[in-house]
Amino acid sequence: MRILALVPGGIGDQLLFFPTLFDLKESYPQATIDVLVEPRAKSAYRVCPHVNEVLLFDYKDRNSLADYLNLLGMIRDREYDIALSLGRRWTVGFLLWLNGIPVRIGYQTPNSWFLSHPVPLKTEQYAAHMYRDLLQGLGITSPCSPLKVSVPKSDIEWTLEEQKRLQINSGYILIHASSSQLALSKGIDKIYPPQQWQEIIQDIQTKQPELPIVIIQGPEDEDIVTQMKKACPGLKVISPPDIGKLAAIIAGANLFLCTDSAPMHLAVAVDTYTIALFGPTDSQKLLPPGSDKCIGIQSPTGKMADIKPERVLAEIWRG
């Protein structure tokens, strides 16, 4: 059996889809599962052992007829038996129908004409559970598995070497202060001001001066990390080159402080105690319900700057 999952979105969306892939593999252990994702999200599958092949298609691009014909041929060549689609455009269902895939699962919308097994769309719940609802189209109604990742051994070894380089001998607090370039380009407020991070960091340094504080610097984070290093002497910087090493460095932290981002979902997956800051996005849809290790702090106004440092510090020291 061959199964195709069409998963638009960035790395965070892929991570939230991992429980669905896990449960799909549990139900069909002999199946070959492929995913069709945007190029920017391919790297997520370094930490997912359930996928055979990662196919690429830019869902958000202005694709030409030739692009769709190429995609049609790529899917047809693999002769899939089942397709699950997170996308809600009728064109996706039409494409799967043209390919002759017998079981075509997606969300029930006014435009879901070409799906063979539409399922109810319940957007009010945790996103991973909403994605997992697609398996109802296959009669799978068991509870959703938790979000997990599989970190390569070489990535764990890299992290241990980095800890030595940074002279970290025991625990540390980890911070991810940035946001994706796509969120910035769309004007979605996911950046907590460096001045307010400074208040939090200085309070931690005062109360626990021996506990290292490490900040993650990705390819797009240089400006904010430079500001924070200038404001907070003693701050250590780490730059994981891929998602596996990022997951490993998060897994080793005593506490992870972050904004709504892909690293936040990795923290959920590796079970690190996490405090995440939310502006306009909804923490109840992006963090697992009932978790005592994932604390979401929601801005009262939808603006990140309106989360007071005192509120974050109260969560840090409440234990």
pLDDT of amino acid 64: 76
CB crowding 179-209: b at 16 or more within 10 Å, else e:
bbeebeeeeebbbbebebbbbbbebbbeeee
pLDDT of amino acid 210: 93
CATH of 153-317, one of 3.40.50.300, 3.40.50.2000, 3.40.190.10, 3.30.565.10: 3.40.50.2000
Q: Same CATH fold, 153-317 and 2-138?
A: yes
Q: Which residue has the higher pLDDT, 189 or 143?
A: 143
pLDDT of amino acid 189: 75
* Helix, coil or strand: residue 255: strand
* pLDDT > 60? residue 183: no
Q: How confident is the model at residue 181 (pLDDT cuts 50, 70, 90)?
A: low
Which of 77-81, 104-108, 228-232 is predicted with the least confidence, judged by mean pLDDT? 228-232
* pLDDT > 90? residue 170: no
Which residues, at least 6 apart from 118, have a Cβ–Cβ distance to it below 8 Å? 105, 106, 107, 108, 109, 112, 137
* pLDDT > 70? residue 149: yes
CATH number, span 2-138: 3.40.50.2000
DSSP designation for 236: E
pLDDT of amino acid 80: 96
**Residues 183-191, mean pLDDT to the nearest whole number:** 68
pLDDT of amino acid 319: 61
Domain extents in the chain: 2-138, 153-317
For a pLDDT cut of 70, what percent of the chain falls above it? Answer: 97
**Residues 231-260, mean pLDDT to the nearest whole number:** 95
Q: From CA 9, how far away is CA 288, in angstroms rounded? A: 19
Dihedral (C-alpha) 112, 84, 247, 55: value to the nearest 10 degrees? -100
* pLDDT > 90? residue 67: no
Mean pLDDT of the chain: 93
Q: Which residue has the higher pLDDT, 67 or 271?
A: 271
* Helix, coil or strand: residue 287: coil
